[in-house]
């Protein structure tokens, strides 16, 4: 009897320890502005890269965002199924698309109706797994008019994200609106410091230089990740409690 009791106690202890050691996962589903970059692309940085350092040891960030993906190609290439096959109860799924969905000349083009349908699918299927979906508008590009005022480039597809978030009662992080506010605060010239603006010979990965107002460098990625973090603190306090002491 004593040995049976010891076995049961041991199993209960192991079960408790497994539960205690289980990490909460944050899955990132999105495009190049969120994705992990190859070394040869440096200093280009997706905001999902610094985002991993905001968390303590109980959280694991799983970044499945990929360059050039839209909601349609994220599904057709099996990336969404990778999330569904691994997501568990009480995990989180951060969903940010629009950059590649909205361009009609790209193979990844997704009509407005398809975009709304795909976002709704993501929300519904994440919830069916017991996870918390979070919708993010496409992060703003850097575009100023001649008077120095920031201009939006995602109005239609960002609004679709907002509409789905409202209809489905999903937390929304409006990266389009908040990134525009950041760029406007910095101004036309200083906002270049957040993006891939390189002079010829300035970096060996880009010997001819580069001017790119869509993709971030390390500083830009960090500031966008901080915008996401601030909204997590107000909208998802239970998750925010898992922050690293440095965040």
- Domain residue spans in the chain? 24-240
The listed CATH number (3.40.50.1110, 3.40.640.10, 3.30.420.40, 3.30.230.10) that belongs to domain 24-240: 3.40.50.1110
Rounded CA-CA distance 125/131 in Å is: 9
User: Could you count the other beta carbons within 10 Å of the beta carbon of residue 123?
Assistant: 21
Q: Are 134 and 92 in contact (CB under 8 A)?
A: yes
Rounded CA-CA distance 175/80 in Å is: 21
Parallel, antiparallel, or unpaired for β 210-216 and 195-198?
A: antiparallel
Q: What would the pLDDT profile of 121-178 be if each residue is shown by its tens digit?
A: 999 999 999 999 999 999 999 999 999 999 999 999 999 999 999 999 999 999 999 9
Assessment of whether the complete model's pTM goes beyond 0.85: yes
> What separation, in Å, do the N-terminal and C-terminal C-alpha atoms of the chain show?
51
User: Could you count the other beta carbons within 10 Å of the beta carbon of residue 176?
Assistant: 24
Q: What would the pLDDT profile of 210-231 be if each residue is shown by its tens digit?
A: 999 999 999 999 999 999 999 9
SS3 of residue 215 by DSSP: strand
Integer-rounded Cα radius of gyration of the chain: 20
């Amino acid at each position: 009897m004593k040995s049976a009791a010891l076995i049961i106690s041991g199993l209960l202890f192991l079960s408790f320890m497994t539960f205690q050691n289980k990490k909460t996962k944050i899955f990132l589903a999105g495009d190049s502005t969120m994705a992990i970059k190859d070394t040869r692309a440096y200093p280009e940085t997706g905001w999902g890269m610094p985002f991993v350092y905001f968390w303590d040891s109980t959280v694991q960030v799983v970044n499945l965002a990929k360059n050039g993906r839209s909601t349609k190609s994220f599904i057709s290439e099996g990336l969404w199924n990778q999330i569904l096959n691994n997501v568990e109860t009480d995990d989180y799924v951060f969903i940010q698309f629009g950059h590649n969905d909205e361009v009609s000349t790209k193979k990844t083009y997704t009509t407005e109706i398809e975009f709304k349908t795909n976002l709704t699918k993501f929300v519904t299927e994440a919830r069916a797994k017991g996870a918390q979906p979070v919708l993010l508008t496409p992060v703003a590009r850097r575009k100023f008019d001649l008077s120095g005022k920031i201009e939006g480039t995602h109005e239609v597809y960002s609004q679709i994200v907002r509409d789905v978030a409202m209809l489905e009662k999903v937390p929304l992080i409006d990266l389009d609106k908040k990134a525009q506010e950041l760029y406007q605060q910095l101004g036309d010239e200083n906002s270049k410091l957040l993006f891939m603006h390189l002079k010829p010979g300035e970096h060996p990965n880009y010997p001819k230089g580069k001017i790119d107002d869509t993709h971030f460098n390390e500083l830009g990625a960090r500031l966008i990740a901080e915008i996401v973090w601030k909204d997590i603190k107000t909208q998802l306090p239970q998750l925010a409690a898992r922050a690293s002491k440095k965040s």
